[in-house]
C-alpha cells in the first residue's frame, strides 16, 4: 500500500506529537520466541 507524501507527513507528525505529549520517550519491548523440536522417537 502506498501512502501519499502529504498523508505520510501528517501521520509521522501525529506520531511525533503523541510521543512528545507523553514525555518524549517511547519504549519498545521486543521479544523473540525460540521453539525447539526434535524428531519423533523411532522404535527399532
* Mean per-residue pLDDT pooled into runs of 10, the chain (44 residues): 92 95 92 87 75
- The alpha-helical segments, DSSP class H, found in the chain are 5-21
Cell numbers that stand for 12 in this block: 509521522
At 44 the pLDDT is 65
Cell numbers that stand for 31 in this block: 521479544
At 39 the pLDDT is 83
What is the Cα–Cα distance from 42 to 44, expressed in whole angstroms? 6
In three-state secondary structure terms, 4 is coil
At 38 the pLDDT is 84
- pTM of the entire predicted model: 0.56
Amino acid at each position: 500500500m502506498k501512502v501519499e507524501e502529504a498523508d505520510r507527513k501528517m501521520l509521522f507528525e501525529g506520531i511525533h506529537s503523541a510521543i512528545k505529549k507523553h514525555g518524549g520517550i517511547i519504549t519498545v519491548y521486543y521479544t523473540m520466541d525460540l521453539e525447539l523440536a526434535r524428531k519423533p522417537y523411532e522404535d527399532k
